[in-house]
Structure 1
């Protein structure tokens, strides 16, 4: 089987959420001498990107995304030692969390999966995250982006605090603040001075990758 065929099959297995088969196919690809970087980018991440685009246009739904993410994780776990040896690094670091006062995490978790599917390192702070914690985590991990999620209109103002703290810290001019969630709008983004609002997880991941490039 040629290199292109192996990578295409790997991509399809990720899309179908076939974790054990993905692990086996990664091993086969390594045996055939395909570079770890190529296996990662043209096989594993390509499969997750397809799922992300389908999710954006409602061709697949949350269960399929979660299955694909699990398959992606299985492939990356099998590949990780070789990626380290080959000096393949993450494309950038993103700090993500649901803002203080808000305990919803489904949207945040989907964005995290899509970010990881773009090859980005994600520091997940969980839910109920105060502005200070985002900034501290971004400084500690040398992140390029802070992603804030909210599902309640009553918690959206914490996003404004994140933007204000970033602008008065050493991160000013170095870190982008991205926001999203059901009640969040482009107008709100502009009002608080955040760098970007995105309406869905796949778009958020694409924008984040552009910021890190």
Structure 2
């Protein structure tokens, strides 16, 4: 198969069908044929979005949603992907502190976002899940990141995120970092209520926002 566009379509198709073996084989073929690793991750993410829609329509179950995340992680572990991450690790594009907020232990969305950030040359400090406001503040003070990224899957974490932003203001460091919030239920009104600088429902969109912020900050293309 010579056509990368056709390969990408097949990858999306088999992610949607949750066929891990075919996705991994096609991903390796695409990498061997010169696909950009970032493009590959975006392609896999396109398939995951289709899985998400099938879950929302109740055609898929939560286990299927989780399995699609595991497929994404498998792609991240491919040798050529690891090589790419190592090459980009010290690009110095920007630094992001990332975590799933307190009261939520979901990590699929967070891990996908982390993978896409690292693929684009960001250094990511991953605090894990169920992260308290104190841990976020400590990590920002210690690491001095350009961006703080808060992830959540549960709707009851909206006020948790708002309280974290308030804690940053109280600590006098709110203006030291851009804040992006990510969740499937997120929208502009919720983001404003939280006090964030930006929001995203998709890892790929969130990554583009972070890239734009760094371009604005550094003036680099």
Scaled to the shorter chain, the TM-score interval is 0.5 to 0.7
Matches within 5 A, 1:154-165: 157-165=159-167
The residue that corresponds to 2:150 in the other structure is 147
2:21 corresponds in structure 1 to: 20
> What residue is the counterpart of 1:8 in the other structure?
9
| Alignment of 1:48 onto 2:45 | yes
Using the size of structure 1 for normalisation, the TM-score is 0.66
Q: For 1:34-183, list aligned pairs within 5 A.
A: 34-35=34-35, 38=36, 40-52=37-49, 55-56=52-53, 58-59=56-57, 60-78=60-78, 79-84=80-85, 86-87=87-88, 93=96, 95-99=98-102, 102=103, 104-105=104-105, 108-116=106-114, 119-121=116-118, 123-127=126-130, 129-139=131-141, 140=143, 142=145, 144-147=147-150, 149=152, 151=154, 157-167=159-169, 168-170=171-173, 172-178=175-181
After superposition, the Cα gap between the structure-2 partners of 1:49 and 1:134, relative to the gap in structure 1 and judged at 3 Å, is farther
How far apart are residue 124 of structure 1 and its match?
4.3
Task: Please state whether the residue corresponding to 1:125 is helix, strand or coil.
Answer: coil
- Please tell me whether the aligned partners of residues 11 and 46 of structure 1 are also in contact (alpha carbons under 8 angstroms): yes
Q: Secondary structure at the match of 2:175?
A: coil
Counterpart contact for 1:51–1:68, Cα < 8 Å: yes
Question: Secondary structure of 1:172's partner?
Answer: helix
* Alignment deviations for residues 74-94 of structure 1 (CA, whole Å, 9 cap, x no partner): 122113333146548798735
In structure 2, stretches of 5+ residues that fail to align are 119-123, 212-221
Q: Report deviation, 1:147.
A: 1.0
CA distance in structure 1 between the aligned counterparts of 2:26 and 2:205, rounded to whole angstroms: 30
**Aligned residue pairs: how many?**
196
